[in-house]
Amino acid sequence: MEAGHSGGLSRSALEAFDPVPVVVFITRGPDHRLVYTNTRFQETFGKKREGAPIRDSFTNVVQQQYFDLVDQVWNTGKPFYAAEAPMTVRSPGPGSETMELYFTVSISPVTLDKGERGVLVVAMEATEQVNATRKIRVLSEERRRSLQRYLSLIEAGTHMVWATDPTGAMVEMSPKSQRLLGLPWEELRGWGWIRCVHPDDLADLGKEWWTAAEQDAPLFEHVYRIRVADGSYRHFRIRGAPVRQDGTVVEWVGTSTDVEEEWQEQRREALLARASAAAEADDLEEFLSGIAQVIVPDLADGCGIYLLPDVADRQADAPTAADRVAGAVGPGLPTIPPHRRERFAPDSPFMRAVLRRRPVHMVFPPGAPPPRAMPPGTEMWAATAKANSSLLLPIATNGDVAAVVHTLACGDRPPLNTSDISLIGQMLELARTPLNKLMDFRRTQRIALAMQRSLLTEPPKVPGLEITARYRPSRAEAEVGGDWYDSFVLPDGVVALTIGDVAGHDLSAAVSMSQYRNMLRALVIDHQEPPGEILQRLDFVVGSLYRESTATCVYARIKGIEGGPWILHYSVAGHPPPLLVSPNGECHFLESANNPLIGLEAGAPRSSAEESLPPFGTVLLYTDGLVEHPGEHLDEGLARLARHARALAGKPLDRFCDDLLAELALTERDDIAMIAVRCATGAYCPPRQRRP
């Protein structure tokens, strides 16, 4: 310690300042000469010369204005106090560095010995506290700004930010989330937010949440629908992470991001892929049924697809008949029969879509569509299913509307909208090329079938004989085939029977069938020759005119009188053999005149054979569709035919034919023609010798 002169404060009083941890110094006189500095002063500022004015002693202090405060206290006698006053101190010597110090300062007047006035300065260094406070203040400001940036980012984005307790009860939600949902915090807190989740998604969301919680998953992620402020539902992806304290989950924090556009695009791609797969079907009705099952239930709750007649068959001012050939309904809804013919008035919405070739879209109260808005067969279904909207979308092929797709949204599903119309249109556009081919094929089928049926005439009425014919088209081959039968009476009274099958199941086969049938009829009438020779002539003509064509057939002549006997004279060209059934059920196949099929060996000789027909006996001519099954030898089919014919031998001829078709035509993979003749009377004659 350094003391002032002997007239100063008593030494014992000054020594009291030596150990205190604050800076203490005393000055006297108006020029403030140092009379005392304590130990902490000397540690902080170094030793100063006794009696030196303070301005001379503190030349290394930058803030010289502080000494004006000492003058102020000396002059006024009033103390001064300052907290955390900065003081910049330069270290001595060249290249000196500065230190930024802070002091809490008290400057007070003091009376020295002999009544001389002085000034007492007490300064407690606060540098560490100030620096710490400043650092805390800086960190706090940085944190405030970071939080503000984060909140601004949340407000600018599409995320909903939330926090829940470990059970999923909401404890915090960002203001942006509340605005997106259109509900105040009071209605969302706790389990209130559950009301915004789509009812169909709630079970899956809860299951996934509890699975993540039980498995202590580091991340929970799920896509579900949320009702937003405008009342519609949008898809959101929720991502949440657990917050742990001492190894225990205390809450979950996360975001819910609007992914409606992403979800819609993914759904669009998936539905278009399914529609493209459906377009690979070979059958028109199978293709349309596949399209209906793509639309339902992803886009709608009900769908029916109608085929229209050709333009030439439509009358402008008359109702138009359309066939519903495919349909689908959503789970839990009443069924709609997929096949139904319905009639539509010219001014109906259905025909408006057809004539304008544009979609007709209607939205209405659930279960209350406008009058005539629905196809007649759908009106009751729409009311029961609470339909709220309808879409009639025409399908144009080759410049004309060939079909109409009718879709319905029901119940809680939002009404069909423009995006649904666009997506269904894209699905049908994707399938336009295969649909054109199938529609063309269907038109060809109708033409071929009409041609085929026009040639399948009713058998003649012949005294003493009963003649019955049947034809069943193939389902699998689109009702087009090359099978035919024919029966007529020749000028000499002989009954002619023919049956045959041209290879193929298309319009070409039907055309070839008509040519074979007509050529054979002409040859039979023009030449009164044995059946084998007639087939030889047919073979020669076919070989000359249709080198790539082949066919099987049977030509038979039945000769006799009304009271009998009746003789069957026949020849077979690669065809299944005729079956003779006696009244007692005895069956045998007529195989004495088997020859190669037509078109294989042009003009080669062919054999004929004769068979006496027993009274009330039945001769059956048929095509291979009656006896052939895939993967089975023909002998098995023939044995099956004989077995059933034996059981039906006593039935009326119509019943005989109908029951055979019902029992044997199970695959429907091929068309079937058959013609049966039964002798009413007549005596049995033994078979004659086979003729070359």
The yes-or-no verdict on residue 665 having pLDDT over 80 is no
- The values of phi and psi at residue 176, to 5°, are -60, -40
> Of 187-201, 263-277, 617-631, where does mean pLDDT reach its minimum?
263-277
Strand locations in 1-55 (E): 23-28, 33-37
Higher-scoring residue by pLDDT: 494, 544: 494
Average pLDDT over residues 573-585: 95
* Distance in angstroms (rounded) separating the CA atoms of residues 216 and 213: 5
* Distance in angstroms (rounded) separating the CA atoms of residues 309 and 351: 13
Q: Are strands 566-573 and 594-595 parallel, antiparallel or unpaired?
A: parallel
pLDDT at 483: 85
Average pLDDT over residues 613-633: 91
Per-residue pLDDT of 434-487, as tens digits, reads 667 766 666 666 665 665 566 667 899 998 899 999 988 776 444 456 788 999
pLDDT at 542: 85
Q: How much of the chain exceeds pLDDT 90, in percent? A: 40
Q: Which helix (H) or strand (E) holds 618?
A: strand 618-622
pLDDT at 18: 84
Instruction: List, in sequence order, the alpha helices (H) in 157-240.
Output: 175-181, 185-188, 199-214
Average pLDDT over residues 172-201: 90
pLDDT at 382: 93
Please say whether the beta carbons of 524 and 572 come within 8 A.
Answer: no
Higher-scoring residue by pLDDT: 655, 600: 655
* Distance in angstroms (rounded) separating the CA atoms of residues 389 and 303: 12
Instruction: Say if residue 116 is exposed, middle or buried (CB neighbours under 10 Å; 0-12, 13-18, 19+).
Output: middle
Query: In the numeric block, which tokens belong to residue 673?
Result: 């023609």
pLDDT at 335: 87
Confidence of residue 619 (pLDDT cuts 50, 70, 90): very high
Q: Mean pLDDT of all residues in the chain? A: 85
Confidence of residue 686 (pLDDT cuts 50, 70, 90): very low
pTM of the model: 0.52
pLDDT at 383: 92
pLDDT at 288: 85
92-97 LR contacts (CB < 8 Å, sep 24+): 92/60
The yes-or-no verdict on residue 282 having pLDDT over 80 is no
Please say whether the beta carbons of 388 and 410 come within 8 A.
Answer: yes
Q: In one letter, which amino acid is 220?
A: F
Rg (CA), the chain: 54
Per-residue pLDDT of 116-159, as tens digits, reads 889 999 999 888 888 888 888 888 777 777 666 665 655 555 57
Tally: H helices and E strands in the chain: 18, 27
Query: In the numeric block, which tokens belong to residue 286?
Result: 């199978």
The yes-or-no verdict on residue 3 having pLDDT over 70 is no
Query: In the numeric block, which tokens belong to residue 421?
Result: 């119309």
pLDDT at 95: 63
* Distance in angstroms (rounded) separating the CA atoms of residues 578 and 601: 22
* Distance in angstroms (rounded) separating the CA atoms of residues 240 and 160: 11
pLDDT at 400: 80
| Contacts of residue 112, Cβ cutoff 8 Å, sequence gap at least 6 | 4, 7, 8, 9, 26, 28, 35, 118
| Contacts of residue 23, Cβ cutoff 8 Å, sequence gap at least 6 | 38, 40, 41, 44, 45, 103, 121, 122, 123, 124, 125
Average pLDDT over residues 670-692: 64
Higher-scoring residue by pLDDT: 108, 214: 108
Q: Which helix (H) or strand (E) holds 128?
A: helix 127-156
- The values of phi and psi at residue 275, to 5°, are -65, -40
pLDDT at 513: 78
